[in-house]
Homo-oligomer: A and B are copies of this chain.
């Protein structure tokens, strides 16, 4: 098993061209995890930028990405004093698998919030939360990512879905990789689909996901709070807030996804 840093590494192969090898270990069901792919895209965007952090990432996923070689194309579109924006594309087998707009900037790790909303309620302490392992064998993702779930949001496992679009868990990478921008990218897309709590089993393909890095995260566990506002006409949304061990909002995301077909 290679670590998260190596699994998301990119190597420059030309002006705005990066090579990567996608790691099967970050697969979930039929596809590599979207957050893992966003981490790879973020590394390429930052490598091509004068700034240190991917502060805003909007991605649309076109096709399932597979383990193995892939390319990242970075096209700078605007470079300002404070921030720079690029169009970033994940290419596999000569076709775009995902398109992104990524804005980079350099966040000050020592910055104190000017104003902050209240932390979301509901996630019990770590030792009251539950690890969920698939019934048999290894499934890749859970070997890389350690999550401890709020049991009240996991009734769907026993056929008792909560009836609410919500899920909460503690998150860390098993290899000891401490939270940074790229760990946040995977944290915002690590929860199982919140639609499981409405009894909709199956893979819920993300169509669009936008996430913002709001602060440099402290070491330790991350608290991941997910909920949704509406399921209608085959579409649902899922918002995630990630709070670090210092009690700060470090990432926020929203995705629009398709409801699994029965």
Contacts and interface: CB of A to CB of B under 8 A. Distances in A.
Interface of A: 55-56, 58-60, 62-63, 77-78, 82-83, 85, 87, 96, 99-101, 103, 105, 107-108, 111-117, 163-165, 198, 207-208, 210, 212, 214-215, 227-237, 241, 249, 252, 254, 256, 258-259
Given A56-B256, A85-B60, A235-B214, A198 B114 contact: yes
A210 B58 contact: yes
Given A62-B85, A85-B60, A115-B165, A108 B233 contact: yes
A258 B234 CA distance: 35
Contacts of A227: 117
B114 A232 contact: yes
A215 B229 contact: no
B116 A233 contact: no
A96 B86 CA distance: 12
12 contacts: A55-B256, A58-B60, A58-B208, A83-B207, A85-B207, A105-B235, A107-B233, A113-B232, A117-B227, A210-B210, A210-B254, A215-B233
Q: Tell me the number of copies of this protein.
A: 2
A211 to B, nearest CB: 10
A111 B207 CA distance: 20
B82 A258 contact: yes
Given A114-B198, A254-B254, 8 more contacts: A115-B230, A115-B236, A116-B232, A117-B228, A208-B210, A210-B254, A229-B241, A229-B249
Contacts of A215: 230, 232-233
A252 B253 CA distance: 13
A198 B96 contact: no
Nearest to A97: B78
A210 B56 CA distance: 10
Residue of A60, A77, A164, A258 with most partner-chain B CB within 10 A: A60
